[in-house]
Amino acid sequence: MWCRGMSYLPLLLVVLSVATFVVTYIIAILNDDISPEFPYISDTGTKPPESCIFSQFLNICAALCLCTIYVRYKLVEVLGDTVEDAKLRRLNKVRLFLGVLTAFGLSLVANFQETNVEPVHLTGAALVFCVGVVYAIIQTALSYHMEPDFNGKYICRVRLTLTILSTLVMVITFVSASISRYQKNPDTDKLHWKPDEPGFTTHIISTIGEWITALLFLFYFLTFVRDFMRLKIEVRPQIFVRHLDEEPTYPGEYTRLLA
């Protein structure tokens, strides 16, 4: 039932993301590479061998995220073809652009560890969380715009709730992280904070907030599962020559990736 249509995409994204975070956390704890008290998600993928697992599977998650965002775009596009609604099409394209930036940010987080290339890593994190929140806001607004013609009010309320919670927690996370960075001792080991060190409390608040925000984002993608059950995307090959040395001709019409 849960694998009908394209519903496997958001499911795979959520399951693989959670599995990646949990596995790298366990390995990092066993190797004493991080403190067990709620490290940042990125802390769990900083040192090998967990960094290798973190990068590999988070890259796959970034690809799944991009695919999920694109399928959602095509779903709304198909529904929008039945009505003349310029606002729906415009919001859908804006949402796609923001979603691509979010997926790109996830790949930056995967490939640039915070202890090696911190500026690039923080840029990726900002794209994931900040742009991700804006993506959720636009998607929620789009859902309300599509109600009642294409979706019900219940899913709108669920997405609105997740959007509000993720926005609030993200703000708390960034504020507390900034305060902890200001309060901490310059000699503090970023991966081994101790309870008696300055800034520890705000540090823990920010790390807990990051985990909650990430989970809220994943829950948001789960709201796509039922919608994706109603959709199937096929790629059909079409050849224009009988011999591969011939010059091709291109008859007929084509469906563009971006309408």
Q: In whole angstroms, what is the distance from residue 257 CA to residue 96 CA?
A: 12
Confidence band of 199 (pLDDT split at 50, 70, 90): confident
Q: In whole angstroms, what is the distance from residue 97 CA to residue 11 CA?
A: 22
In a domain, 233, yes or no: no
Let me know: does 85 contact 77? Beta carbons within 8 Å: no
Domain around 68? 8-228
In a domain, 253, yes or no: no
- Tell me which amino acid residue 53 is: I
Q: Is the pLDDT of residue 186 over 90?
A: no
The predicted-structure confidence for 67-123, as pLDDT tens digits, reads as follows: 999 999 999 988 877 777 788 889 999 999 999 999 999 999 999 988 888 899 999
Over range 19-34, report the average pLDDT: 93
Q: In whole angstroms, what is the distance from residue 82 CA to residue 75 CA?
A: 12
Let me know: does 88 contact 145? Beta carbons within 8 Å: yes
In a domain, 235, yes or no: no
pLDDT of residue 254: 56
With CA atoms as reference, report the closest residue to 61 among 96, 11, 126, 5: 11
With CA atoms as reference, report the closest residue to 205 among 170, 239, 233: 170
pLDDT of residue 253: 55
Query: How many domains are contained in the chain?
Result: 1
Let me know: does 107 contact 124? Beta carbons within 8 Å: yes
pLDDT of residue 185: 74
Q: How many CA atoms lie within 13 A of 105 on its CB side?
A: 21
Q: Is the pLDDT of residue 61 over 80?
A: yes
In a domain, 171, yes or no: yes
Query: Tokens at residue 161, please?
Result: 């709730």
In a domain, 243, yes or no: no
In a domain, 146, yes or no: yes
In a domain, 103, yes or no: yes
Confidence band of 258 (pLDDT split at 50, 70, 90): low
